[in-house]
Amino acid sequence: MRLLETLRNRVRSWGAQVESRTCANRPVQLLLRGVRVVYRAVALSLDRFSNCAASQAAAGMAYYALFSLFPLLVFLVALISLFLQAQEAERQVFEFVNQFVPISQELVIKNLGQVLALRGPISAVAALSLLWSASGFFAILGRNVNRAWPNARTPNFFQHRLLALAMVGVLALLLLLLVIWNAVLSVLSELAHPLMLTLPLLRPLVRILTTQVAPILVSFCLFLVLYQSVPRARVRWRDAFWGAAFATLAWRLATAALVWCVGSGLVKYDLVYGSLGSLVALMFWIYITSWVALFGAHLSASAAVLARASRMAENRPDQPSAG
């Protein structure tokens, strides 16, 4: 904390010196003001993130995710089976895993296939049990996102579970939309095949939009809804936007870095953990995802606190001068 306070004082001193030299340059002043706001928001977020032990909470979320992942995937297969054939439903869930779980996909798909082969048809009671088990991770996620807001009310156990079940419902809806999206793309690709032969550049453009841009937009929307809807406090969309933007960018960069480290052989979990290497890599990715999600929540809360303080300072009447 002493190091952080020293860094704050140096940044303030540097900002004052630069501002005094560029008082006539308004664009530079606006840039410096933006830098100071960002620095204050990040510093406040780090302070609250540490006080709330959010890093330890992210580790706990990775533990809970290990017990919630396979019940969630089996439940999604049972849900999609209501609309598609069983084999097609399994294929869609496998594709969902390949798109949103960049680490240890082979481990997840192999074990999920074994679980589905052993279970057979899933009854309604079994589906509800799987849904309850799958909501464990989301209950912890909702509780820690809510803690990021200083004035948020603390929900009880049943409210936490209802919120977690709602999150599972959103994820199931996302999977259904993904199934519809893939079907629409398949039809459009057939219809636009002559056009793609005429315009060769159209095919890579469509591939970039579907494989790169669309996942980023989906991730941003999920983080945005998470930060705006989950806290039991009044959260403006503007405040949730900054946390969602940071979380989307940081999560994509961290995931790409981890995938590169594992794929290039720079990090070899198998040499340390043996046959459990893929499982450890998966848990580490979930920990990084949880860490980023919680810090984004604290960043949104800090942005709201600073914005409220700025509005209060602007609306405060000037003090009458003495004498």
pTM: 0.81
Alpha-carbon distances, residue 297 vs 49, 97, 178, 287 (angstroms): 9, 25, 26, 15
> What SS3 state is found at 156?
coil
Q: Are 133 and 71 in contact (CB under 8 A)?
A: yes
pLDDT above 70: residue 17: no
> What SS3 state is found at 122?
coil
Q: Of 12-21, 52-61, 79-88, where does the model show the most confidence?
A: 52-61
Q: Are 258 and 103 in contact (CB under 8 A)?
A: yes
Query: For residue 293, what are the contacts with CB-CB under 8 A and spacing of at least 6?
Result: 141, 145, 223, 226, 247, 251
Q: Of all residues in the chain, what percent carry a pLDDT higher than 70?
A: 76
Q: What are 133-150's pLDDT values in tens digits?
A: 888 889 889 999 999 988
24: confidence class by pLDDT, cuts 50, 70, 90:
very low
Cα–Cα distance measured from residue 129 to residue 67, given in angstroms and rounded to the nearest whole number: 13
Name the CA dihedral angle for 268, 272, 277, 283, rounded to a multiple of 10 degrees. -100
188: confidence class by pLDDT, cuts 50, 70, 90:
low
Measuring CA to CA, which residue among 290, 292, 277, 240 is closest to residue 137? 290
Q: What are 80-129's pLDDT values in tens digits?
A: 888 878 888 888 888 888 878 888 888 888 888 888 787 767 777 777 78
Domain ranges of the chain: 25-305
What average pLDDT does the structure give for the chain? 80
Q: What are 154-176's pLDDT values in tens digits?
A: 888 888 788 888 888 888 888 78
Query: For residue 304, what are the contacts with CB-CB under 8 A and spacing of at least 6?
Result: 149, 235, 236, 239
Range of lowest pLDDT (180-189, 265-274, 302-311):
180-189
Cα–Cα distance measured from residue 22 to residue 12, given in angstroms and rounded to the nearest whole number: 15
Helix (H) or strand (E) holding 3: helix 2-21
**What tokens does 44 get?**
């406040």
DSSP 136: H
